Structure 1
Amino acid sequence: MTTEAGEVIGWSLRPAEPADVFAIAELRAVVLRADLERLGRFDEHRVRQRFRDSFSPAHTSIITVGPAFAGCVAVRPADDGHWLEHFYVAPGFQGCGVGSGVLRTLLRKADEERVTVRLNVLRGSPAQRLYERHGFTLDAADEIDIFMTRRPPP
Structure 2
Amino acid sequence: MLAIRVEALRDSLERLGRFDPARARERLMAGFKPEFMQHIMCDGERIGFVTLRPDPAAGPPALHLDHLYLRPAWQGQGVGAWVMAWAKAQAVAQACDIRLSALKHSDANRFYLRQGFVQVGESDFDLDYRWSQS
Tell me by how many angstroms 1:109 deviates. Answer: 2.0
Identity of aligned residues (%): 33
Contact residue 63 and residue 71 of structure 1 kept, 8 A: yes
Secondary structure of 1:62's partner? strand
Counterpart Cα distance in 2 of 1:151 and 1:53: 27
Root mean square deviation, CA, Å: 1.2
Whole-angstrom CA distance in 1 between matches of 2:32 and 2:125: 21
Provide the C-alpha distance between the structure 2 equivalents of 1:116 and 1:123, rounded to a whole number of angstroms: 22
Amino acid in the other structure paired with 1:111: V
Cα gap change, 1:55 to 1:143, in 2 (>3 Å): closer
Distance in 1, Cα, partners of 2:89 & 2:31: 26
Structure 1 residue 77, shift from structure 2 partner: 0.6
Unaligned runs of 5+ in 1: 1-23
Shift of 1:51: 1.0
Deviations 1:86-128 (A, max 9, x none): 1001112111111110111110221232111100001111111
User: What letter corresponds to residue 110 of structure 2 in structure 1?
Assistant: R
Alignment partner, residue 60 of structure 1: 37
TM-score by length of 2: 0.90
Give the number of aligned pairs.
130
Of 95, 103, 107 in structure 1, the residue corresponding to residue 76 of structure 2 is: 95
Structure with the greater alpha carbon radius of gyration:
1
CA distance in 1 between counterparts of 2:81 and 2:118 reads 17
Structure 2 runs not aligned, ≥5 long:
none
1:149 pairs with 2:130:
yes
4+ residue stretches of structure 1 with deviation over 6 A? none
Letter in structure 2 aligned against 1:27: I
